[in-house]
Structure 1
Amino acid sequence: MLFRRLFQRFVLPFFTRRFLKFAIVGASGVLVNLGCLALLRALSVQINLASAIAIELSLLSNFAVNYLWTFRDVSGGWLRQALRFHLVCLGGAVFQFSSFVIMNVVWMLLLWSGDARTEYFAGADTMFERWLWRPLMSPPEVGAWVFLSQLIGIGCGMVWNYLLNFYWTWSVHKRAEPGGEHVS
């Protein structure tokens, strides 16, 4: 009985027309996100700041399209839903941004020579400085690998964003859902 309830609550929502719409909107958000990252990188914006701005702009575009298309049949007030969506997606954004920073350090460790890594970490005397402060304030330059880092981060935030938005922002579980038929 418990397994069935958990399955219905956390697995079945991914097999609906609504999830397909959410995924399509998410794919457009990926394009917004990566496009903004590329533009800001070309403008020489610090890469972590560029990532954060790209995340925020993709959140705003995703809300607008989800509001107008994916969840257009759900009432509840635009402002309330916008605030809830943003609050939920901030959790996903933390997952995405953290993954982005971590993956850029991973690429640096894998791709840079020992001397280059030593130079990057020079003056970072504590674990905090070495593994948190330096990657946040002076991220390693890993070239085009930043786009893979951003994609990995997007994947990390997607499940969180969908489930919390499905159940809280638009409160779909509280009513019969026209778009909730199972997809075969």
Structure 2
Amino acid sequence: MKKYGKSYIHGNFIGTTYKEYEIFLKFSIVGASGILVNMGCLYILTEFFKIFYLFSSAIAIELSIISNFILNDIWTFKNERNGNFFVRMGKFNLSRIFASVINVFILLTLTIIGTNYLLANLIGIFVATLFTYVTSVLWVWKR
């Protein structure tokens, strides 16, 4: 009976929950920085280098994926790094491709049924973020 006391609950429920919130918060901060990288690269490549915006977008997306991976690897999941760096990066990139498909699918589906495209995109981003967090925890960094 003692193992279910206050210290058990604190050590196995509250502590674990706090750690998961901390990791998700870091993951979200890194994701927000990725938006800045994406938007900045898109603007610079399109406006200054005169690259067609769809090509600029593809480059900007990949650069934001790489920056997000590096920041997550050295900060968010610094204690979870196992295996080869490039294998983790490949898994991270692949999960982001699937997340993009999820995001676009939700955006398209919701706009077809009459949802405002901005709200539909926000919902798609939220669902894709949950997907990328789960794949990061369970597959890329295997917690």
Identity of aligned pairs, percent? 38
Alignment of 1:40-55 (within 5 A): 40-42=45-47, 43-55=49-61
Return the offset for 1:95.
4.3
Check whether the contact 1:30–1:154 (CA below 8 A) recurs between aligned residues. Answer: no
TM-score (normalised: structure 2): 0.66
Number of positions where the alignment pairs a residue of Structure 1 with one of Structure 2: 118
**C-alpha spacing 1:48/1:95, structure 2 compared with 1 (3 Å):** farther
Largest Rg, 1 or 2: 1
Q: Distance in 1 between matches of 2:102 and 2:41?
A: 19
TM-score (normalised: structure 1): 0.53
Alignment of 1:79-118 (within 5 A): 79-95=86-102, 98=104
Q: Distance in 1 between matches of 2:24 and 2:32?
A: 12
Alignment of 1:87-166 (within 5 A): 87-95=94-102, 98=104, 152=122, 155=126, 157-166=128-137
- For residues 58-86 of structure 1, the C-alpha deviation after alignment (integer angstroms, 9 at most, x for no partner) is 00000000000000101312222112111
Q: Distance in 2 between matches of 1:75 and 1:32?
A: 24
Check whether the contact 2:73–2:81 (CA below 8 A) recurs between aligned residues. Answer: no
Q: Distance in 2 between matches of 1:26 and 1:16?
A: 15
Q: Where do 5+ consecutive residues of structure 1 fail to align?
A: 1-11, 103-147, 173-184
Flag as ranges the 4+ runs of structure 1 deviating above 3 A. 93-96, 151-157
- For residues 135-178 of structure 1, the C-alpha deviation after alignment (integer angstroms, 9 at most, x for no partner) is xxxxxxxxxxxxx7xx7575563222112111111111xxxxxx
- For residues 39-76 of structure 1, the C-alpha deviation after alignment (integer angstroms, 9 at most, x for no partner) is 12203322221211111000000000000000010131
RMSD across aligned C-alpha pairs, in angstroms? 3.3
Q: Distance in 2 between matches of 1:154 and 1:30?
A: 11
Q: Where do 5+ consecutive residues of structure 2 fail to align?
A: 1-16, 109-117
Q: Counterpart in 2 of 1:171? A: 142
Check whether the contact 2:88–2:141 (CA below 8 A) recurs between aligned residues. Answer: yes
Check whether the contact 1:32–1:57 (CA below 8 A) recurs between aligned residues. Answer: yes
Greater fraction of residues in helix: 2
What secondary structure sits across from 2:50 in the alignment? coil
Return the offset for 1:89.
1.1
**C-alpha spacing 1:157/1:49, structure 2 compared with 1 (3 Å):** farther
**C-alpha spacing 1:154/1:34, structure 2 compared with 1 (3 Å):** farther
Q: Counterpart in 1 of 2:64? A: 58
